[in-house]
Amino acid sequence: RERAVPLTPAEARILIDAMLLKTNVSDLKTGDALLAEQPGKIDVLLVNADGGVVEVIKFDAKTGRMEKDERRTLRKLLPRPDKAEHYNRKFDTNQMTLLANAMVIQFGNGDLKLGDIAQTPRGTYTATVINQTGDIVREMELSSVTGRPIS
């Protein structure tokens, strides 16, 4: 399905940054995110610590998704998640903002954006999703351990 507003290079970079954060990868980071030579495509450079390009990840701007082959290649580059370690770490406010932004980009169809995000006394985070006019669409509580909504 096509997005109402095409994905931008900055949004594609946020999606990759969030994926690297969730998988706890420290030796890879995102480089430049550029419009590709092909119309409607976005290239995000995945680089190592020395700045050398490891992989070019292609997104379709109309759908906001990675190309299928790119997803497989990226999964091979990323380590398998350690389930025990997954619940031992806690995301800070900047990291939670990145993860919440990625969630809104991924599921928002291009017409939503992240409003405020704040930590609660319980240690979770509340995030407000707004539309382009600034109206609140949804408020959700996010886990600081998993970065996902709490139902």
Assign residue 26 a region (left: φ > 0; alpha: ψ between -120 and 50; beta: otherwise).
alpha
Q: What is the pLDDT of residue 67?
A: 82
Ranges of the chain with pLDDT below 70: 81, 86, 151
Nearest to 40 by CA among 75, 69, 68, 12: 12
CB 38 within 8 A of CB 16: no
User: What digits encode the pLDDT tens for the residues 91-132?
Assistant: 999 999 999 999 999 887 788 899 999 999 998 999 999 998
